[in-house]
Structures are given as C-alpha cells and as structure tokens.
Amino acid sequence: MGRVVFGRHLGWRLGYAPGMSAPLPTPAWSLESLRLPKAIENEAEGALLHAALRERPRQLWSGGALSVPTASWSGGLASALSRAQREGHLVCGLERAEKALNREVRGLAMADARSATERGSRVSRLLLVSNDGTERFYRQVERLVCTQGPRLLAILIDADSSQLAAVVPQALGVVRAVLIEHKDCVARVLSASYPRPAQA
C-alpha cells in the first residue's frame, strides 16, 4: 500500500500576530507509520493492534485515495462506545465531529506557530463510520481525515447506522459516524475494536 500524503497549510486563514510564523503543514497520514496512543503503543497489545489495523484495509469509496482499517461490530465495542458517551467523550454525527475537530485545529496550529515545531503525530482522536453510508458521505470522511492528519484515525465498522445510533440514546435520526475525543477513551475503543485472541 502506497503512502498517502496530504495536509494543508492553515496560516493564511488564522490571522497570526506580527512576528509569529505560520505553522508547519499537517503531517502526512500513513497507515504504515501510524502511532497509537501511548497507553497502548508501548504495551504488548500495541504490536497486535498495529497488525490488526493493517490486516483488512479498505477504500472508503471506489475512487478514493485513502484506505482505512476495518473492524467487526461486537458487544465489547458497543459497551466501550456507551462508556465514552456517558463520560462525555463521544460526538455523534459527521458534521458535529468535523466542527469539534476544526475547533481543536486552531489551538493546535497557534501552538505550532509559537513554538515553530511540528506537533506530535500520535493518534488522539478516533472516528468510527458505519458501513451503510453514501459515496458522498465517505468522500466527506476522506476529506476530513486528509485535513486532520495522523492525529485522527478513521475505522470502517461492520455495522449499520442503526447499530451506532443504539449506543447514543438521545441521538435523533441516522448516525453514521461517531468521534471519540479523549485519548484514554480512544485507547479503550481501539482495544475493544480489536480484542486480543483468547488464550488456549
């Protein structure tokens, strides 16, 4: 699988103060060089997760340039998402997820400009998408991942929008995407998405 390079320079639209340099471009997103949250990256589970994430990648849409990991739906994953929702770390819907991520981008970019260094490229946000979206929906997902860079990991779940909606009791209508915001919740949901094989 080739390395997909993207990212955009945000300095022109953020209005930096005089003497403040614009931030460096968003680092490239690559499944091969993905860096997981520290809570699981340095554990024995980290190597297994890396292997699982690369096992069945799939294009989001037929003409897309980005292949993302896939994962099965399970009771454990549903429970992890319900916990994230109860703790206030789950954003429901692609539009709301994009707004939440874009709010964070401004603060990150301003910090980059002040320090003149590139921010860490470790996964800190997780976007789970259902398997029953339209091509337009998956195009939007791909654009969002391309804009956010390696801090955002998108996973295509083998579940439809009704199954995702079931973990968010107050959700109204169709839920085809959920964003996990807190790094500890991200680690828990990743672990639930790719559970370790049972010991013989």
Asked if residue 182 belongs to a domain, the reply is yes
pTM of the model: 0.81
| DSSP 8-state symbol, 35 | B
Asked if residue 117 belongs to a domain, the reply is yes
Asked if residue 200 belongs to a domain, the reply is no
Asked if residue 165 belongs to a domain, the reply is yes
Phi/psi of residue 105, each to 5°? Answer: -60, -40
Asked if residue 46 belongs to a domain, the reply is yes
Confidence (pLDDT) at 194:
94
Neighbours of 11 (CB within 10 A): 16
Confidence (pLDDT) at 6:
36
Tokens of 181: 């915001």
| DSSP 8-state symbol, 128 | E
Q: How many domains does the chain have?
A: 1
Phi/psi of residue 91, each to 5°? Answer: -110, 130
Asked if residue 49 belongs to a domain, the reply is yes
Tokens of 179: 């964003």
Domain that holds residue 129: 28-193
109 alpha-carbon distance from chain centroid? 18
| DSSP 8-state symbol, 131 | S
What residues of the chain score a pLDDT lower than 70? Answer: 1-28, 106-120, 198-200
The predicted-structure confidence for 1-45, as pLDDT tens digits, reads as follows: 433 333 333 332 334 344 434 444 455 678 888 899 888 887 778
**Burial (CB count <10 Å: 0-12, 13-18, 19+), residue 164:** buried
Compute and round to an integer the Cα radius of gyration of the chain. 17
Confidence (pLDDT) at 174:
85
Q: Enumerate residues 6+ apart whose C-beta is below 8 A from 176.
A: 93, 94, 129, 130, 132, 133, 137, 161, 164
- Single out the residue of 23, 28, 21, 15 nearest to residue 148, CA to CA: 28
Q: Which residue's structure tokens are 């295509």?
A: 156
Integer angstrom CA distances of residue 132 from 81, 129, 158, 174: 19, 9, 9, 10
Q: Give the domain CATH number at 56.
A: 3.30.1330.30
Asked if residue 127 belongs to a domain, the reply is yes
Rounded CA-CA distance 41/23 in Å is 27
Asked if residue 14 belongs to a domain, the reply is no
